[in-house]
């Protein structure tokens, strides 16, 4: 078996929003495009472009708002001490 080479931990603040934006825009653009066009050949032709545009907006947006989201979460969630 082969070993997957991992990125250093310092990349986590960028990799997490990258993966999240890819997965979320994939699902949301699929649902939105399917709802608009229905299960037609036009859906299959349109969805990749819709996903790409939504990802181009979502990824930088996540990078920008993630610090604010972390602060909001810290206001509403009790952090228990580590044992």
3-state secondary structure of 79: coil
pLDDT, tens digit, 9 for 90 and up, residues 12-41: 999 999 999 999 999 999 999 999 999 999
Please give the model's pTM, rounded to 2 decimal places.
0.79
Q: How confident is the model at residue 81 (pLDDT cuts 50, 70, 90)?
A: confident
Residue with more model confidence, 18 or 79: 18
Averaged pLDDT for residues 73-79: 91
Q: Write out the DSSP string of 38-69.
A: -SSHHHHHHHHHHHHHHHHHHHHHHHHHHHHH
Q: How confident is the model at residue 79 (pLDDT cuts 50, 70, 90)?
A: confident
Within 8 A by CB and 6+ apart from 44, the residues are none
CA–CA separation, 64 and 59 (whole Å): 9
Q: Structure tokens of 6?
A: 């991992």
């Amino acid at each position: 078996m082969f070993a997957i080479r991992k990125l250093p931990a310092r990349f986590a603040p960028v990799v997490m929003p990258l993966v999240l934006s890819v997965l979320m825009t994939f699902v949301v653009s699929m649902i939105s495009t399917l709802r608009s066009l229905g299960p037609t050949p036009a859906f299959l032709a349109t969805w990749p472009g819709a996903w790409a545009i939504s990802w181009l907006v979502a990824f930088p947006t996540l990078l920008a708002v993630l610090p604010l989201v972390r602060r909001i979460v810290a206001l509403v969630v009790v952090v228990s001490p580590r044992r």
